[in-house]
C-alpha cells in the first residue's frame, strides 16, 4: 500500500469526509473522530467513511484526551473542518500546529479561513453557487441548478487530500509540518474547466447550456446533447474531426442496418460535412431522424453498439445502470468489506495491477490503546 506507514486523524464533517476516504484508499490508517452517539447510518456517512476506523470522543473529556493526545502525537496528518460544532474545541488548527510541529494540519472550510467572507455559512448549495458551478448548469434562461448529489464536498475533499500529501512530502524532506488551508469555493472553480478564460481573454460570458450545446456553429446553430431514448436519455453530439466523422458515419450505418428512416442523413458525405458551418435548419434536419431512431434504442444497447462501432457518446446513466455496468464489474470497482454484504465504491485507483481492498467497515471502532509509533511519525 502506498501510504501504509501514514496515520491520519480525520475530525471533519461532511465537507471533508472524502479527503480521509481517498487517503484510506491509498493505504493510510485513517481514524475518524466522531462525537459520541453521532448518526452513522446514512449512506452519505457510510460511503465516505468506509475504510476508516472510528474513535468516539466527547470534546474536552479528560478520559478521551488520554487516548486522543497520544494518537495525535503519532499522527502524520490531521484533517479538520474548523467551525464544525461538535469537535472544533479540541481540534483548533493553531493549537495543533503549536503542539505538534511535525503534524500536517489540513483545515477545510466552505470559503476558506481568511478573507471577508470566511465566516459566511455555506452548504453544498451555496458553495456550488459561490464557485460558479451553478451559473453553468440548468436551462439557458432558467434557474441555475446544482448536481442533486453534493459535489462541492467532493471537490474540497479531493483537493484537501492533494494538499495533505504535498505537505507530507515536504515534511519528509524538512521535518516541518504545515497548515494546508482549503476553500470549498475555490476548489469548485476547478469544476468550471476553462469557462473563466472566455471572460478573461475575450470578454465573453459562458452561461447555462441546458441539454444543448452552443458556440460550435458560426451560424449560431445549437446541437442536441441529450436525446430521449427507450428507457432514458443518450448523450450524443454531432462532432466534426476524425472521431466525429467516424461516429457520424457509424451511426448512419447502424440506422441503415436497422432499416431506420434516414432522411437527409442518407446523402451526407461525413468526410466533408462540417458542424461548424451548419445553420439551425440543417442541424434540425440532420437531428430529426436520429431522434426517431434513438427513441427506440435502450441505453445499454447504445452503450454496447457505441463501443463496438468506436462511436463517441454514452447513455445518461442512472445509479442502477452504473451498478450493473460490466466494465465496472470486470474491474472489481464495487467492493464489500470482509464479513459484510454492504457495497461501496472501492478504492479509486488500481495500484500495480491490483485494486486495494477496503479494510474497515464504516464505524469499525479503533482500539483505545495508542497505536505503535510509526516510521515517519512525530519525533
Partner 1 sequence: MSAVPQALADVKVLEFGGYAAGPHIGKVLANYGARSIHVESRQRPDGFRIQYPPFKDDRPGYNRSGCFAFFNDSKYSVTVDLKKREGIALAHRMAQWCDLIIENMRPGVMERLGLGFAALAKLNPRLVMLSTCNMGQTGPRADQPGFGSQLSALAGLCGLTGVPDGPPMLLYGPYIDYIASVTGASAAMAAVIRSRRSGKGALIDLSQYESGLMFIGAALHDFFATGRLAERCGNDDPDAVPHGAYQCSEREWVALSCWSQDEFGALAQLIGHPDLANDARFATVPSRRANTEALDALISAWTAGRSAEAAAESLQAAGIAAYPVVTMAGLFRDPQLFARRQFRVRRHPEMGDHAYCFPGFDLAEAPGDIIGPAPCVGADNEFVFRDLIGLSQDEYESYRRCGVFD
Nearest CB to partner 1, comparing residues 257 and 352: 352
Q: Does 268 bind partner 1 (CB under 8 A)?
A: no
Q: Does 280 bind partner 1 (CB under 8 A)?
A: no
Q: Does 353 bind partner 1 (CB under 8 A)?
A: yes
Stretch that binds partner 1, among 55-63, 83-91, 226-234, 255-263 (CB under 8 A): 226-234
Q: Does 349 bind partner 1 (CB under 8 A)?
A: yes
What distance in Å separates the CA atoms of residue 153 and residue 18, rounded to the nearest whole number?
Answer: 7
Question: 129 to each of 62, 144, 187, 340, how far by Cα in Å?
Answer: 41, 9, 12, 39
C-alpha cell at 79: 484533517
Angle at 186 between CA 155 and CA 215, to 5 degrees: 85
Chain positions 15 to 54 lying near partner 1, rule: CB under 8 A, are 18, 21-23, 26-27, 42-44, 46-48
Which contacts of 137-142 are long-range, i.e. CB under 8 A and separated by 24 or more positions?
137/208, 138/208, 138/210, 139/208, 139/210, 140/207, 140/208, 140/209, 140/210, 142/208, 142/210
Q: Does 185 bind partner 1 (CB under 8 A)?
A: yes
Q: Does 167 bind partner 1 (CB under 8 A)?
A: yes
C-alpha cell at 344: 461501496
Which of 205, 13, 231 has the alpha carbon at shortest distance from 124? 13
Chain positions 54 to 93 lying near partner 1, rule: CB under 8 A, are none
Q: Does 220 bind partner 1 (CB under 8 A)?
A: no
Nearest CB to partner 1, comparing residues 280 and 340: 340
Q: Does 317 bind partner 1 (CB under 8 A)?
A: yes
Chain positions 241 to 260 lying near partner 1, rule: CB under 8 A, are 241, 243
Nearest CB to partner 1, comparing residues 68 and 186: 186
Q: Does 334 bind partner 1 (CB under 8 A)?
A: yes
Which of 190, 213, 214 has the alpha carbon at shortest distance from 127? 190
Among 181, 265, 294, 363, binds partner 1 (CB under 8 A): 181
Amino acid at each position: 500500500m502506498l501510504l501504509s506507514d501514514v496515520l491520519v486523524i480525520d475530525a471533519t464533517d461532511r465537507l471533508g469526509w472524502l479527503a480521509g476516504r481517498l487517503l484510506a484508499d491509498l493505504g493510510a490508517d485513517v481514524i475518524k473522530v466522531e462525537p459520541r452517539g453521532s448518526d452513522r447510518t446514512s449512506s452519505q456517512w457510510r460511503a465516505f467513511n468506509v475504510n476508516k476506523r472510528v474513535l468516539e470522543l466527547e470534546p474536552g473529556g479528560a478520559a478521551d484526551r488520554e487516548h486522543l493526545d497520544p494518537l495525535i502525537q503519532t499522527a502524520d496528518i490531521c484533517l479538520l473542518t474548523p467551525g464544525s460544532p461538535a469537535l472544533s474545541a479540541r481540534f483548533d488548527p493553531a493549537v495543533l500546529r503549536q503542539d505538534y510541529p511535525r503534524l500536517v494540519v489540513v483545515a477545510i472550510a466552505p470559503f476558506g479561513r481568511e478573507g471577508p467572507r470566511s465566516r459566511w455559512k455555506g452548504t453544498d448549495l451555496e458553495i456550488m453557487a459561490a464557485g460558479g458551478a451553478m451559473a453553468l448548469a440548468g436551462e439557458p434562461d432558467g434557474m441555475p441548478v446544482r448536481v442533486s448529489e453534493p459535489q462541492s464536498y467532493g471537490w474540497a475533499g479531493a483537493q484537501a487530500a492533494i494538499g495533505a500529501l504535498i505537505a507530507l512530502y515536504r515534511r519528509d524532506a524538512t521535518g516541518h509540518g504545515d497548515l494546508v488551508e482549503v476553500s470549498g469555493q475555490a476548489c469548485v472553480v476547478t469544476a468550471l474547466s476553462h469557462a473563466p478564460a472566455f471572460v478573461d481573454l475575450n470578454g465573453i460570458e459562458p452561461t447555462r447550456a441546458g441539454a444543448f450545446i452552443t458556440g460550435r456553429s458560426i451560424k449560431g446553430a445549437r446541437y442536441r446533447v441529450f436525446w430521449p431514448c427507450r428507457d432514458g436519455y443518450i448523450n450524443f453530439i454531432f462532432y466534426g474531426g476524425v472521431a466525429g466523422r467516424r461516429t457520424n458515419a457509424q451511426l448512419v450505418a447502424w440506422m441503415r442496418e436497422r432499416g431506420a428512416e434516414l432522411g437527409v442523413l442518407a446523402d451526407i458525405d461525413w468526410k466533408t460535412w462540417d458542424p461548424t458551418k451548419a445553420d439551425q435548419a440543417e442541424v434540425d434536419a440532420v437531428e430529426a431522424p436520429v431522434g426517431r431512431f434513438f427513441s427506440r434504442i435502450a441505453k445499454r444497447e447504445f452503450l454496447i453498439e457505441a463501443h463496438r462501432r468506436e462511436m463517441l457518446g454514452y447513455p445518461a446513466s442512472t445509479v442502477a445502470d452504473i451498478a450493473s455496468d460490466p466494465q465496472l464489474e470486470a474491474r472489481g470497482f464495487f467492493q464489500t468489506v470482509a464479513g459484510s454484504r454492504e457495497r461501496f465504491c472501492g478504492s479509486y485507483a488500481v495500484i500495480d495491477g491490483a485494486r486495494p481492498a477496503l479494510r474497515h467497515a464504516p464505524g469499525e471502532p479503533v482500539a483505545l490503546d495508542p497505536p505503535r509509533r510509526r516510521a515517519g511519525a512525530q519525533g
